[in-house]
Amino acid sequence: MGAHFAGDRASLASYLKMPMPLLRYFSSCWRSLYQKSRLDEELDEELHAFVELLVEEKIRQGVSPAEARRAALIELGGVEQVKERVRDARVGAAMESILQDLRYAVRVLTKSPGFTFAAVLTLALGIGANTAIFSVVNAVLLRPLPYAEADQLLAPMGEKNRPDAHATISHPDFLDWRDQTQTLEHVAAYTRSSMLLRLDEAEPELIYGANVSADLFPLLRIRPALGRAFTRAEDQPTSEPVILISHGVWRRRFNSDPNIIGQQLKRGGAGAGATIIGVLPEGFRFPVQESRTDFLRPLAPALGEWAQRRGAYSLRVLARLKQGVAAQQAESEMRAIGQRLELQYPDEGFRLGLRFVSLYEAVVGDVRVSLLVLLGAVSLVLLIACANVANLLLARAAARHREMAIRAALGASRWRVARQLLTESLLLSLTGGGLGLLLSLWGLDLLVAGSGLNLPRLKDVSLDRNVLAFTFGVSVLTGIIFGLAPALLSVRVDLYEALKEGGRSATAGAARSRLRGLLVVSEVALSLVLLVGAGLLVKSFARLRGVNPGFDAQNIFTTGLSLSKIKYPEAEQRRELFAQLVERVRAVPGVESAAVVYPLPFGGTTTSNTFLIEGRPIPAPSEKPAANYRAISPDYFRVLHIGLLRGRAFTEQDRPTASPVVIVNETFARRFFRGQDPLGQRIVIERASGQATVQAAREIVGVVSDVRHAGLDEEAGPEVYVPFTQAPEGYMDVVVRTTAANPAGMGASLRDVIRVADREQYVPGVQTMTELIAGSVAARRINALLTALFAGVALLLASIGIFGVMAYTVAQRRHEIGVRMALGAQAGDVLRLVLGQGLRLVLLGVAVGLAASLALTRVLAGMLYGVTPTDPATFAVVALLLTLVALAACYVPARRATKVDPLIALRYD
């Protein structure tokens, strides 16, 4: 009958070195999935050929051509119907064979529960870890910001290296900028704020929110759920106080009272008498980094008199670009406006950061790299897990060659067998994936709760559609990765060969052992990369922790007090209260010394002010030097054990009526008074304080040693210290040094003392200085910890993998070992033989791993402190450690090899 038409496919198959049936399978899948119309065409052709043949037959029987065609078409019964039935049949058959595969896979897997359990567990750990990290990446990096057209939102940033370096502006400058801008649709200024919510119950609640300019609402395009937003008219320094509360507060504290609009909050605390004019939409947050927004208030009334001070830079800014305008244009315009204002107000000048970044960048910019590094690390762990499972499957595949051979003899084509194996792999990986999903839920809870991390948007982490899709995708990919090797190998097995008694097919065996060797090498290489990364991060963290902050952080307790402006409107009152407080706290048993300070080191706030040195030419406003500012009580240096280098500390004599004094630090003295004695010099600090608009010149009376106030990784900058009595603040931190290491009840004692001074004063939690410092490096700690954890898991998995492969290889070579021993080989020779083979693989893996590490660790450069990405010590230690561990994993099977009884081994051939 007809000729075979297989020329093309056969040559294509041999070109790709793919067995024909496999190629045919793939091509029919391709055909049916992506070229449905081609399949249709073929079917069409087939049916029309049928009709033509039928017509010919009828013509041969003597029917007229027209009649023949008519009869043939009737017999066909409608091309479309037949095509439909064929399609249904095809789909049905496909489903049936998939179900068959599944049923068989389930049977096979349940018959070897040990293997299945080990494989599923390994995969669950690998996939689960990936899911957990990915959900964090998803929540922090991938989810769009919760504002309309968020890509148009910009935030000006200040210096490059500070993570929280939002640029700040003063209120008058902000107003001018707002009125003069042509490139920005809206500009809004804000500060973060907190207040006490006093309702009829006894305990007031501290709630968090922001003081914002009225433009924020149109800028973010948000509409209150109830009531209305405030207008510019209500955003004046003298306006009556109004407030919008969050949906959550409305529900929780006011029972979703529909008549909430118009209610007034109680007096006491800073929110005295504010009228509620609206309720914010549910889930609304601003700033987006904060974990909650309970209220929004107008900015100007909250600033009070400071709203008119052009020199008070304390407001953050958010801007929305006009459509079609580029960020650079807005930046240049901002600079131009700044220059204009500098000329107009030469004494105060316009100060604002020079860069505009998108709001998204401002929020996630810092953590992006470390999150992606973690994701990369955890994927490496998954790859190692895949290699382990692949090895397991390979071992099993060899044991199953008989089963495969029988199936082939029964007529199953090779690709069918391969498909079956792939189904088993996918079943394993999807089960592992499901279990991993559960594990990640649990692990995530741990991570978010226990780490104390302050990642932006961490609160949003949840298992949403993206994460589920990711988990599913990773599971499928994993199954294909580790299942493909055994599947392909099984296809190449010469099945007749395998049926021979004790069959050890030469080609398949060689291919399999080469693959096993490759897997071991890659596991070792991947583990090395992870270990190097972890080593670098851990070393970096240790270096950082070892940095001396310049003061003694042991045994120091602290809490911050915010004085109500209503209760203590006068500077004198504030000064009096804090002075009294220090006295009383000092009297508490167990307290060695006490002081107050603003701002607290490692407290998350820095204040910086420009200053002028008396007797020197006044520089242009943008070139004025600046120093960090701190208001302290006399004992401050004693509490923190900061050394006094020259001159004197503050005393009780430095009262408001006495001459204004200031103490500077080493860096200040070195930078601005090089070669001179700073003592006796005078500087004017440009900081609005109290009612004074003109700053008095302060005499430098002392020099203290440098302290790292902002972070362990930041060099100390120039600092000025001012006695708080001469510049009282509304908020100060109390710092207390205790004699004992951790006296019980110190927190309670402090609270009691404060309550005595002012019964109504709200006292937030008491912390220790060591806690604060640890908090400042918490992110690095977590990074190092997690990476080390992943590296540890990787090492464990790799060791198990190497152990398994070596044990298997030894078992395979028992015959050979028996022969050698019979020919006189000693235990030591056998040991060397086996270990040598293992060592070769391990060393190759280490070499590849080192090369890969050299290329990859540069990614970590931004995260490291005091360590280079190619730190030779770390590389050397890690390489050595891994080699030793890997050798140890080879050792046990090698020992077992020496115990082979040559007689038994030879007999069992």
Positions that interact with another protein (CB under 8 A):
1-6, 42-43, 45-47, 49-50, 52-54, 56-57, 75-77, 81-82, 85-86, 88-90, 92-94, 96-97, 410-413, 416
90 vs 103, beta carbon nearer another protein: 90
Asked if 553 contacts 769 with a C-beta cutoff of 8 angstroms, the reply is yes
CA atoms of 570 and 227, how far apart (whole Å)? 36
Q: Least distance (Å) from another protein to the CB of residue 88?
A: 7
46 vs 257, beta carbon nearer another protein: 46
Q: Least distance (Å) from another protein to the CB of residue 480?
A: 22
Cis amide prior to 486 (ω within 30 degrees) = no
Four-residue CA torsion sign, 427, 431, 432, 433: positive
CA atoms of 409 and 823, how far apart (whole Å)? 40
Element (H, E) at 769: helix 769-776
Element (H, E) at 206: strand 205-212
52 vs 282, beta carbon nearer another protein: 52
Q: Which amino acid is at 477?
A: L
CA atoms of 843 and 585, how far apart (whole Å)? 64
Q: Least distance (Å) from another protein to the CB of residue 416?
A: 6
9 vs 267, beta carbon nearer another protein: 9
Asked if 578 contacts 633 with a C-beta cutoff of 8 angstroms, the reply is yes
CA atoms of 602 and 561, how far apart (whole Å)? 16
91 vs 142, beta carbon nearer another protein: 91
CA atoms of 526 and 387, how far apart (whole Å)? 10
CA atoms of 451 and 458, how far apart (whole Å)? 11
Q: Least distance (Å) from another protein to the CB of residue 408?
A: 9
Dmax over CA atoms of the chain, in Å, equals 132
Q: Least distance (Å) from another protein to the CB of residue 428?
A: 25
407 vs 709, beta carbon nearer another protein: 407
Q: Least distance (Å) from another protein to the CB of residue 501?
A: 23
Burial class (CB in 10 A: 0-12, 13-18, 19+), 381: buried
Q: Least distance (Å) from another protein to the CB of residue 26?
A: 15
Say which DSSP state 135 is in. H
104 vs 865, beta carbon nearer another protein: 104
Q: Least distance (Å) from another protein to the CB of residue 1?
A: 6
18 vs 518, beta carbon nearer another protein: 18
> Both tokens of residue 886?
């890997």
What residues contact 356, with CB distance under 8 A and at least 6 apart? 154, 155, 156, 157, 319, 327, 330, 331, 334
Element (H, E) at 788: helix 778-812
76 vs 453, beta carbon nearer another protein: 76
Q: Least distance (Å) from another protein to the CB of residue 70?
A: 16
CA atoms of 387 and 625, how far apart (whole Å)? 59
CA atoms of 740 and 300, how far apart (whole Å)? 46
Reading phi first (left if > 0) and then psi (alpha if -120 to 50, else beta), residue 896 is in alpha
98 vs 696, beta carbon nearer another protein: 98
What residues contact 397, with CB distance under 8 A and at least 6 apart? 404, 421, 486, 489, 490, 512
Q: Least distance (Å) from another protein to the CB of residue 38?
A: 13
Asked if 625 contacts 672 with a C-beta cutoff of 8 angstroms, the reply is yes
53 vs 884, beta carbon nearer another protein: 53
CA atoms of 757 and 72, how far apart (whole Å)? 108
Checking DSSP bridges between strand 661-665 and strand 697-704, what pairing results, if any?
Answer: parallel
CA atoms of 484 and 416, how far apart (whole Å)? 13
Cis amide prior to 287 (ω within 30 degrees) = yes
Q: Least distance (Å) from another protein to the CB of residue 491?
A: 15
Other CB atoms within 10 A of residue 688 CB: 18
46 vs 583, beta carbon nearer another protein: 46
56 vs 572, beta carbon nearer another protein: 56
Q: Least distance (Å) from another protein to the CB of residue 86?
A: 5
97 vs 161, beta carbon nearer another protein: 97
88 vs 149, beta carbon nearer another protein: 88
Vertex 832: Cα angle to 830 and 837 (nearest 5): 100
3 vs 741, beta carbon nearer another protein: 3
Tell me how long the chain is. 909
> Both tokens of residue 287?
């700033």
Q: Which amino acid is at 657?
A: T
50 vs 254, beta carbon nearer another protein: 50
Q: Least distance (Å) from another protein to the CB of residue 466?
A: 36
Burial class (CB in 10 A: 0-12, 13-18, 19+), 289: middle
Q: Least distance (Å) from another protein to the CB of residue 444?
A: 44
97 vs 693, beta carbon nearer another protein: 97
Q: Least distance (Å) from another protein to the CB of residue 5?
A: 5
If we measure between CA atoms, which residue out of 454, 209, 147, 158 comes closest to residue 316? 158
Q: Which residues of 871-908 are buried (b: 16+ CB within 10 A; e: fewer)?
A: beebbeebbeebbebbbebbbebbeebbebebeebeee
Q: Least distance (Å) from another protein to the CB of residue 76?
A: 5
What residues contact 112, with CB distance under 8 A and at least 6 apart? 396
If we measure between CA atoms, which residue out of 387, 346, 253, 263 comes closest to residue 686? 346
Q: Least distance (Å) from another protein to the CB of residue 30?
A: 15
Q: Least distance (Å) from another protein to the CB of residue 106?
A: 20
